[in-house]
Amino acid sequence: MSATSRALTVRLEIQDYERLEREAARLGMRPGTLARVLLRASLGAPDRRSEHPSVSLEQLFDRLAGLRDGLPPVDAAAITAASRAELERRGDPDQE
């Protein structure tokens, strides 16, 4: 064990430990190694968890809708038509 790790004892029900042993054997690793892999995977990336707490997609959409509140309505077709007209007014730079 390295100086940067700590030991942890976990008590498992017999059935859970047997499942852990079977899966570890299937994967060609020791049960303790598999337990460590599963624990790390369940915790997720340390930086991501601290900066971005779990938020549902619905909550994200609600936040996005809140950002939109108070803004004037946008007519995408009118903006596109105006942009095309401006480009035509400027002319094609490749043909000059």
Q: Over the chain, what is the mean pLDDT?
A: 81
Q: Are 49 and 43 in contact (CB under 8 A)?
A: yes
Contacts of residue 49, Cβ cutoff 8 Å, sequence gap at least 6: 43
Say whether pLDDT at 51 is over 70. Answer: no
Contacts of residue 87, Cβ cutoff 8 Å, sequence gap at least 6: none
pLDDT digits (tens, 9 = 90+) for 54-90: 777 778 778 777 777 777 777 888 889 999 999 888 8
pLDDT digits (tens, 9 = 90+) for 17-47: 999 998 989 888 899 998 988 888 888 766 5
Can you give the pTM of this predicted structure?
A: 0.45
- Residue ranges of domains in the chain: 14-90
Tell me the torsion sign for CA atoms 13, 19, 23, 29.
positive
